[in-house]
Amino acid sequence: MKISHTLSTVICRLGFILSLSVMAEDAGPSELVTLNNQYEAGLNRAKTPVLERYLVTLGGLLDTTTRAGNLEASLAVNKELESVKATGRTTSFGENLPELKAARDQYQKELMGATQPLHERYITALEALVTSYTKRGLLDEALVVNRQVEKAKAMAIRTAPPAAAQSSSRRPADAVFFQGKYYKTFDSVVSWTQAQEKCVEMGGQLATVSSAAENSQIIQMAMMGKRDAYWLGATDKVKEGQWVWVDGRPMTYTNWGRYQPNNKQLAEHYLVVIVRSKNASLNKTWSDQPKTADGHRPGFICEWR
């Protein structure tokens, strides 16, 4: 298998596929064309090492299965290799082969990890461009870019991994996919600690937020729930004012409401998103709350990667 010779072809084909699905407005405003070109180039750079590793893995796995004389396994690996070479996409072949399934799952995880931050920044840049055009009175241009925002968000939802890759998860079947992660709201009233424990029991964790696009998605889901507020996965219980997500990442993106966080009575160390409040200025914003948040009786939002 001449894998190294095929890599550039794979990348070129992938770039073409991405240009069809993302850059549909190639005749749009010059700023949009430039942004799309930058996004496509960034995606190709991010995907290259991930694809290279997976192609090498598949080549080695094919060599192993053919040497062992395992026809069924060899055919499954070969079909996976051909699909990835042609489109960068995986197949559902060989689900009964632990080595192939593990390699495929790792490839999908790495691919989403490499591209998700780029896609989030792309959407944020598009939204900023819509605002810029609107402020300048260029409404036709703003509409064109706004359509691209909608397409980019829809593409993020369509890139969910195949159902076969999801089957072993404890994640609820109705969890919503968005930009590489799954989310689900729960209306049960529990403490922050209990909420995190329940998410972990289902193979996930309380939802974390790293971008405006992700925050918007979580707020939309919360607004469809029955509760006025929902727990998210951050706390400053270890060091006051130093907010950390449950996966250990520091909080970089924030959406605090007015005068928040304020650590009332020195006991508010847990994050909620408020979607309905008598104080309208707090709607769709974050607040720090005590572990039980009796005043809000929040539900919680879990996420799965």
Is residue 210 domain-shared with residue 248, that is, in the same domain?
yes
Query: What whole-number distance in Å separates Cα of residue 227 and Cα of residue 248?
Result: 27
What integer is the mean pLDDT of 239-268? 88
Distance CA 251, CA 210 (A): 8
Beta strand residue intervals within 198-280, DSSP E? 205-206, 229-235, 244-245, 270-274
Residue with tokens 């042609």: 86
Token reading at 172: 């609820």
Q: State the pLDDT at residue 169.
A: 55
Look at residue 87 in the predicted model and tell me its pLDDT: 77
Question: For the chain, what is the domain count?
Answer: 2
Give the model's pLDDT for residue 274.
Answer: 94
In a shared domain, residues 135 and 216 = no
In angstroms, what CA-CA distances link 249 with 109, 233, 243, 261?
18, 11, 9, 19
Are 200 and 153 found together in one domain? Answer: no
Are 229 and 249 within one domain? yes
Domain boundary among 129, 160, 191: 160
My answer on whether 131 and 275 are in the same domain is no
Residues 184 and 271 in one domain: yes
pLDDT in tens, 283-303: 899 999 998 877 788 999 999
pLDDT at residue 284, rounded to an integer: 92
**37 and 139 assigned to the same domain:** yes
Q: Which two tokens stand for residue 251?
A: 């909080």
Residues above pLDDT 90, as percent of the chain: 29
Residue written as token pair 């159902």: 163
Domain boundary, last residue among 114, 141, 160: 160
CATH number at residue 274: 3.10.100.10
Residue 13 is part of which domain span? 3-160
* Confidence at 14, pLDDT banded by 50, 70, 90: very low
Is the per-residue pLDDT at 278 higher than 70? yes
pTM, 2 dp? 0.48
Lowest mean pLDDT among 19-23, 34-38, 282-286: 19-23
DSSP string for 83-132:
HHHHHS---STTTT-HHHHHHHHHHHHHHHHHHHHHHHHHHHHHHHHHHH
Does residue 107 sit in the same domain as residue 198? no
Kindly report which listed range (99-113, 217-231, 234-248, 258-272) carries the lowest average pLDDT score.
Answer: 99-113
**How many other CB atoms sit within 10 Å of the CB of residue 223?**
14
Q: Tell me: do 146 and 174 sit in the same domain.
A: no
- Residue 118: partners with Cβ closer than 8 Å, 6 or more residues away: 39, 42, 43, 46
Mean pLDDT of 161-189: 74
148 and 22 in a common domain: yes
Looking at the structure, tell me whether residues 34 and 81 fall in a common domain: yes
DSSP string of 263-280, one letter each residue? -GGG---EEEEESS-SSG
Q: Of 138, 160, 182, at which residue does a domain stop?
A: 160
Please indicate, yes or no, whether residues 14 and 45 belong to a single structural domain of this protein.
yes
Please give the residue that has the higher pLDDT: either 168 or 241: 241
Label the pairing between strands 285-289 and 176-178: unpaired
